[in-house]
């Protein structure tokens, strides 16, 4: 089976995880965001913000985790798998921090291509900060630009998902999916 891999991307606090959770309730197979898990595991080891303290280590763990998700999606008996963020997010965030990374990061992004990419733009009305989301709304706007640049450089056509209710956003995504063969 040729499983379509659909990445939902966007800066922090744009509603990606809420949309992913709603897609799950509709019966879609979804791969969860793993950065919070990595952050929480580091906090258990006494590292408050691994991404800020050691961006390369954090990003390597994130890249390998997302690569594993991508490969796991190929073993599923689903026509479509949605991802809460994709591999190029990792390099976009490192570029945002102006933090160097090995060429192997780009190689992994080039070797694992999503069929479609939907972006959720920063939305001030729903934006909140918490223990794992430390970025301001202004930083989220800048990160959005880095995500667009990164995915565009990897050859993706990014589909802008409009603001709206969860139902409206899901309907938009479903209406723009590539029909299965």
Q: What is the pLDDT of residues 98-146, one digit of tens each?
A: 999 999 999 999 999 999 999 999 988 887 766 556 678 889 899 999 9
Half-sphere exposure of 2 (CA within 13 A, CB side): 7
Read off the pTM.
Answer: 0.91
When divided into structural domains, the chain yields a total of 1
Confidence of residue 160 (pLDDT cuts 50, 70, 90): very high
CATH of the domain at 158: 3.40.50.300
**Residue 83's Cα: distance from chain center in Å?**
7
- On whether residue 124 sits in a domain, the answer given is yes
- On whether residue 65 sits in a domain, the answer given is yes
Taking Cα atoms as reference points, which of 28, 36, 11, 33 lies closest to residue 150?
11
Q: What is the pLDDT of residues 30-44, one digit of tens each?
A: 999 998 888 888 889
Residue with tokens 């897609």: 23
Q: What range defines the domain where residue 163 resides?
A: 4-175
Supply the pLDDT for residue 1. Answer: 58
- On whether residue 140 sits in a domain, the answer given is yes
Q: How far apart are CA 101 and CA 59, in angstroms?
A: 9
Q: Is 27 left (phi over 0), alpha (psi -120 to 50) or beta?
A: left
Mean pLDDT value across residues 53-63: 90
- On whether residue 180 sits in a domain, the answer given is no
């Amino acid at each position: 089976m040729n499983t379509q891999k659909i990445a939902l991307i966007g800066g922090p606090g744009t509603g990606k995880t809420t949309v992913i959770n709603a897609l799950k309730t509709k019966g879609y197979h979804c791969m969860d965001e793993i950065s919070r898990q990595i952050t929480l595991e580091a906090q258990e080891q006494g590292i408050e913000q691994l991404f800020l303290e050691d961006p390369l280590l954090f990003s390597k763990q994130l890249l390998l985790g997302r690569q594993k998700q991508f490969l796991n999606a190929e073993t599923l008996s689903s026509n479509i798998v949605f991802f809460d963020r994709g591999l190029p997010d990792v390099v976009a965030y490192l570029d945002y921090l102006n933090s160097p990374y090995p060429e192997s990061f780009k190689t992994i992004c080039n070797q694992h291509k999503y069929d479609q990419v939907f972006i959720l733009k920063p939305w001030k009305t729903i934006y909140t900060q918490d223990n794992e989301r430390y970025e301001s709304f202004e930083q989220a706007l800048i990160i959005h630009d880095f995500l667009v640049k990164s995915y565009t450089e990897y050859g993706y056509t990014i589909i802008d998902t409009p603001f709206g209710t969860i139902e409206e956003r899901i309907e938009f995504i479903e209406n723009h999916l590539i029909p299965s063969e």
